[in-house]
Chain A
Amino acid sequence: MTPFRMTRRDTMRLLTAAAATGALPLGSAFASEPLELTATTFPGAWEESHRRFLLPAFQKATGVLPALSASQAVDTVTKLNAAQANPPFDVVLMDEGPYMQGVSLGLFRPMVTAKVPNLENLPARFVQANGLGAYVSAQVFGIVTNTETVKKVPAGYEDFLKPEYKGRIGLVGLDSTLGTVWMVALAKMLGGDEDHMDPAFDYIEKLLPNVGAVAANPGALGTLFQTGQIDIACHYLNNVEALKEKGVPLALSKPTSGWGLVRSLMCVTKNTKVPELASSYINVALSVEVQQAMAGTPYFIAPTNKQVAFGSAMAAIAKNAGEMDNFVQTDWAKINPRRAEYIDRFNRLVKK
């Protein structure tokens, strides 16, 4: 085999190149970084709508394009708690339950209110008194079915148990808010409540033969609809509409037990290096233009800003925020202490 012919110059060049390739990224790794913002959002329609509307609006307002990380609220709390001194995120999207947990763990800091003038446009009850969070939306959930493959739409959750739906129901894990609030809604429907969840777990056990797949988060639940692995599930309005836009023939219907409601907030993390930028992010999320865009097709994320009217698909469900207060809601103060236990119990139940 003929060896390569390398002169001294070649060797030197090769070694220098190798050293340079190694040194350059190393150097940048330890150098200080320019002003950046990392925000969280929820997987699925939330992430899509944020990338489509919120990020560009923020960039226009401040010139900074944030890094967006999709993370369920429960996981975000865990990550913040694991790295309190140096949080991986600057501003986070939370559901009520994990928010309360985060507050008790001291993970959030008050917003820089000077940077969030839009707070004035929120009803008082949507702004946390201590400035630790502001409600950015409400989401409605109900029964979602694939209109092409499901001829007889279930009228209520109890109908999911019918044998004709064998292998077609989708579930989502309890570390998502959707999974938990559905369990609470089921418990309430079956005579229990947040402190008595056994009826809901019994229901799931009876439902197992009809379960087609279990998703890790609501976004993944949408994927299962998309690939035809499931045809029926309890799901959010905004995910449904987003999937319809992609050509998946879904429809949302009101269960006999009533619509369910989930509210989400944004918070600034405790030891963030950019509290003002993070507060501006919340301000842009509360702005009329962003909330209007997100309330429209296909995301239909209900606005909290008083100046934004309820659009078409939302109006079919409720005329205004007041009506929505009557929907099935969850008392997170009772759920939070036992949530880890419920998550574990659910995982063991559905494992094949």
Chain B
Amino acid sequence: MSQGRSWLLAVPMGAVFTVFVAAPLLLIAFVSLHNDAGLTQAGLHAYAKFAGDAYNRGVLTDTLLLAAETVALTVLLGYPVAGLYMAWPKCRRVLMFLTILPLLTSTVVRSFAWVVILGNQGLINRTLISLGAIDAPVHLLYTPGAVAIALAQIELPLMVLPLIAALSGIDASLMDASHALGAGPWRSFRRITVPLSLPGLLTGTLLVFTGAASALITQTLVGGGRLMYMPFYIYEEAIQAQDFPFAAALAIILLISIVLIVTALNALGRRSRAFVRG
């Protein structure tokens, strides 16, 4: 097979992509622009229904806020873990293994674990009660905070791995120079480490934000019946209410929100990257 015809090898994947990825996504956009499930009447009814209702807007903001909280938590914990990896070469294999393993473990299992940990009879409450710190169990489960913490654990590997890659690329002599010039570790971290690891931070943010916003299982298992987020809302409207135009509109709104926020972050990152590289 000559070089000229080798692109033919991409046709099978191209076909699958067109039929099962591109077409469905375009179809969602198409269906969302109709007023009825039968697709007889085009219109913006579905989007108007979304925008006009405070409940609906609330579900979207709750979801995006949750994703943002998750990103904040994973950044807070991700840098130290990645730093640990860099600082202790001997533990690297173990640490890498511990980071990958949760990524490959079932999401249902990991979310379930948080139900066991945060419940009224769970690990945390029983420990606090036995220590005498509280008399009655604290309602930890089924709160937005609980969902954020559970999601932070589930998405943490997706922040740690890009950060490790980014930190590996930083010249160690830069840190030495910084110390030699009298900067403390906090200052070096802020002025050197963070800007230089920005590409990894942005990759991690993209992955964690998207993952957290669309984590149906965790949001439902750990969030409970009183918290409603976009993913389950989409499922409910499509499968239970059979209102496909509205479900499609919700999906498009979620996707666009994620894309907008991520693009904004990337633009910010590119500007500061230019600043750093000079």
Chain B residues contacting A220 (CB-CB under 8 Å) are 225
Q: A75 — nearest CB in chain B belongs to which residue?
A: B240
A216 to B144, CA, bound (A): 18
Given contacts A227-B120, A228-B137, A229-B119, contact A347 B242 (CB under 8 A): no
CB-defined contacts of B139 to chain A, threshold 8 Å: 167, 212, 229
Q: A213-B142, A229-B141 are in contact. Are A348 and B55 (CB under 8 A)?
A: yes
B244 to A: closest C-beta gap in Å = 10
Is the CB–CB distance between B242 and A350 below 8 Å? Answer: no
A213 lies within 8 A of B224 (CB)? yes
Distance of A171 Cα from B226 Cα, bound (Å): 10
Chain A residues lying within 8 Å of B122, measured Cβ to Cβ, are 227
Is there an interface contact between A352 and B226, defined as CB atoms closer than 8 Å? yes
Contact present for B226 and A214 (CB under 8 Å): yes
Q: How far is the CB of A74 from chain B (nearest CB, A)?
A: 8
Q: Which of A171-221 contact B (CB under 8 A)?
A: 171, 173, 175, 211-216, 220
User: Would you call B226 and A350 a contact (CB within 8 A)?
Assistant: yes
Q: Within 8 Å CB of A214, what residues of B?
A: 224-226
If the complex has contacts A78-B242, A229-B142, are A351 and B228 also in contact, measured as CB distance less than 8 A? Answer: yes
A-side interface residues, number (CB < 8 Å): 25
CA distance A251 to B33 in the complex (A): 52
* Residue contact B227 to A352, C-beta cutoff 8 Å: yes
Contact with B along A329-352 (1 / 0, CB 8 A): 000000000001000000110111
Residues of B within 8 A of A229 (CB): 119-120, 139, 141-142
**Pick from B115, B119, B242: contact of A228, CB under 8 Å:** B119
Q: Which residues of B contact A340 (CB under 8 A)?
A: 241
Report A-chain residues with C-beta under 8 Å of the C-beta of B141. 229
Chain A residues with CB under 8 Å of B241's CB are: 78, 340
- Is B51 at the interface (CB under 8 A from chain A)? no
Q: Is B101 an interface residue (CB 8 A)?
A: no
Min CB distance A16 to B, Å, is: 18
Question: Is B121's CB within 8 Å of the partner chain A?
Answer: yes
Alpha-carbon gap, A351 to B142, bound state (A): 12
Establish whether residues A213 and B225, one from each chain, have CB atoms under 8 Å apart when the complex forms: yes
Query: What is the CA–CA distance of A89 and B120 in the complex, to the nearest angstrom?
Result: 38
B140–chain A nearest beta-carbon distance, Å? 10
Known: A78-B242, A175-B240, A340-B241. A228 touches B121 (CB 8 A): yes
Smallest CB separation, B144 vs chain A (Å): 8
Q: Mark B222-238, 1 if CB is under 8 A from A, else 0.
A: 00111110000000000
Residues 119-158 of chain B, each 1 if its beta carbon lies under 8 Å from chain A, else 0: 1111000000000000001010110100000000000000
Measured between beta carbons, the chain B residues less than 8 angstroms from A227 are: 115, 119-122
Tell me if A155 is interfacial: C-beta within 8 Å of chain B. Answer: no
Q: Which residues of B contact A315 (CB under 8 A)?
A: none
Closest residue of chain A to B143, judged by CB? A352
Q: Is the CB of B228 within 8 A of A347?
A: yes
User: Which of B55, B228, B239 interacts with A78 by CB under 8 Å?
Assistant: B239
Residues of B within 8 A of A212 (CB): 139
Determine the distance from Cα of A348 to Cα of B225 in the docked complex, in whole angstroms. Answer: 11
Whether A82 and B227, one on each chain, are in contact in the complex, defined by CB atoms closer than 8 angstroms, is no
Taking a contact as CB atoms under 8 Å apart, the answer to whether A351 and B227 are in contact is yes
Separation of A119 and B235 alpha carbons in the complex (Å): 39
Q: How far is the CA of A352 from the CA of B225 in the complex (A)?
A: 10
Interface residues in chain B, defined as those with a beta carbon under 8 Å from any beta carbon in chain A: 55, 58, 115, 119-122, 137, 139, 141-142, 144, 224-228, 239-242
Top 7 nearest A-B pairs (CB, nearest first) are: A214-B225, A228-B120, A227-B119, A228-B121, A352-B226, A214-B226, A348-B55
A-B contact pairs, 22 of them (CB 8 A): A74-B240, A78-B240, A78-B242, A82-B242, A167-B139, A171-B225, A173-B225, A175-B240, A216-B225, A227-B119, A228-B120, A228-B121, A228-B137, A229-B119, A229-B120, A229-B139, A348-B55, A350-B225, A351-B58, A351-B227, A351-B228, A352-B144
For the complex with contacts A74-B240, A229-B119, A229-B139, 11 further pairs of A-B residues with Cβ separation under 8 Å are A78-B240, A78-B242, A171-B225, A173-B225, A214-B225, A214-B226, A227-B121, A227-B122, A347-B228, A350-B225, A351-B227
